[in-house]
Structure 1
């Protein structure tokens, strides 16, 4: 489709003005970043895979009644989404100890948690997306107590769905992060899952081997990031089972 006015460019996506009021076109780039963009690379085909995988997860969530900003996929790299007011928080759901949590608490990587734990970080790359308690969120007006209750409920529903889907294809959902947006109707608003859900925003380990199938492959130089994402897509049926890795992945339209 024809390019429209650029609204915003982030590390992995670009948002363009949409064809109708209240819509945006979300374009997935091949850029990979880690450690708050201190490590950067262009991974050919990554944007195509994340577009398809995010479509898969967003439509799956909508099918069970979880509202999202997703409307439809437009092509191999773009999707049409609703314009939302993003709450400036990353909502992190953890099922197993990993990453920063394991380091902070001195826990063994992969140790199961007694229940899913939800953390919030303030979205600010310059500050390193610091963890913030609910008291800060309410005091600074980023979200109300009712919003927080609704966000937690949404995050747990996403976790239930994602954990089940991943377990069904032999993948352990270690943790993930989502963003939440507000859609306004006069003085009232509803909360929806926004941004993306992809291996960029999840930790995914093969249940049998423990092989990492997420952005940790790039963070820790564990191999080909495209191969890892392609394997996730293949298992979920986003790719046909007989596809082997190519520099430019061929996906089903």
Structure 2
């Protein structure tokens, strides 16, 4: 396998038609504080990579059972999994059930913490630029995705939101927000990258769970 790139939470290797993800023990945060919605590595915690991979496998299989196609193929061991290679669309699509995190930092004067939102946001996936928000017209104008793809990504994200909301509601938990990514494969859009405690915020009794704590939720 050839190294493809090294990320904050996983290293990616090229394996012909597949990508192999090696999940790290990296802990994410913002401004030095742990935050599952953060975009900085603030440390490591033993066993975290394995926990995130198990969650990713669980949630991708959950989405597949509900008719949403993903690029997940199989888990190889405690740290590695195989995924279909796709043409990655450089966007993160964020679904915000409630106002939290960067949304509050941007619009705090106009919104209350944890106010119900149920909105879809697009951000440009570019660490050097700070993953800035991007409007739908700009996405299309810059050739990142077509208008049809934008509409489909929004629709699929809303379907994922419903699936995750129902799953956590049955567990007595509340999901605050999550993000997904999409890739093109044989004329279709697939959910790619990962869906885990590192890509969502889940609340229990007024506290945001640490990413590994979702392992106890999925059983």
- Answer 1 or 2: higher relative contact order, Cα 8 Å, separation at least 6: 2
The residue that corresponds to 1:167 in the other structure is 169
Aligned residues: 210
CA contact (8 A) 2:52 2:212 kept: no
The residue that corresponds to 1:6 in the other structure is 3
The residue that corresponds to 1:25 in the other structure is 20
CA RMSD of aligned residues (A): 1.4
The residue that corresponds to 1:190 in the other structure is 188
CA contact (8 A) 1:24 1:81 kept: yes
TM-score by length of 2: 0.91
The range that moved more, 80-89 or 104-113, is: 104-113
Give the structure with higher Rg (CA): 1
* Structure with the bigger percentage of strand: 2
Decide whether aligned partners of structure 1 residues 27 and 98 sit closer, same or farther in structure 2, where only a CA change above 3 A counts.
same
Gaps in structure 1 of 5+ consecutive residues: 214-227, 238-253
Decide whether aligned partners of structure 1 residues 37 and 31 sit closer, same or farther in structure 2, where only a CA change above 3 A counts.
same
2:112 aligned with 1:108: yes
CA contact (8 A) 1:169 1:236 kept: no
Determine the C-alpha separation between the residues in 2 that align with 1:170 and 1:72: 29
The structure 1 segments of at least 4 consecutive aligned residues displaced by more than 6 Å after TM superposition are none
The residue that corresponds to 1:229 in the other structure is 211
The residue that corresponds to 2:142 in the other structure is 140
Deviation at 1:72, TM superposition (A): 1.1
1:120-173 Cα offsets, whole Å, 9 max, x none, are: 001111111000100110000000001001101110111011111111112111
